[in-house]
Structure 1
Amino acid sequence: MTKKEFLAELRNYGIKGLKARRTAKQMYALHGSYDNAFASINGMQRGLQGAFTGLTKAINMMAKSIGGDMEEW
């Protein structure tokens, strides 16, 4: 993956301009290649999605134990 491709992927995530270039530089320095940096971003995104799913399940369980159901709202 080239720097240009990595910047295009950052643009897909909503990171643009100077912030994208700064992020790309930091990620390259941290991971050693743009491929590893991109894999790291995907891993973080999956981790956040998993955490959010777990939080949603916990909230629904608490709501059901109280007597309601969040999904009905």
Structure 2
Amino acid sequence: MTTEIGGEYLTVEQAAEYLGTGVRFIRRIVAERRVVFYKVGRNVRFKRSDLEAFAQSGRVEVAPSYAAAA
């Protein structure tokens, strides 16, 4: 399993960097089971695709009235 930022699995610190958040936020969403993660012994790892899916799940669409004005 690779843990470098370009690898398939990311550490908590790398996941925070990838999402542009703090480590504390990543630990909270893991505790709340809001993101898919993998346990390797005591270590938590994330697939980049799972982090991308998490980020997309929070996507907010533009309201139709604002989209027409643009």
TM-score range, shorter chain: 0.3 to 0.5
Higher fraction of strand: 2
Of structures 1 and 2, the larger Rg is shown by 1
Higher fraction of helix: 1
TM-score normalised by length of structure 2? 0.40
Structure showing greater relative contact order (alpha-carbon pairs closer than 8 Å, 6 or more residues apart) = 2
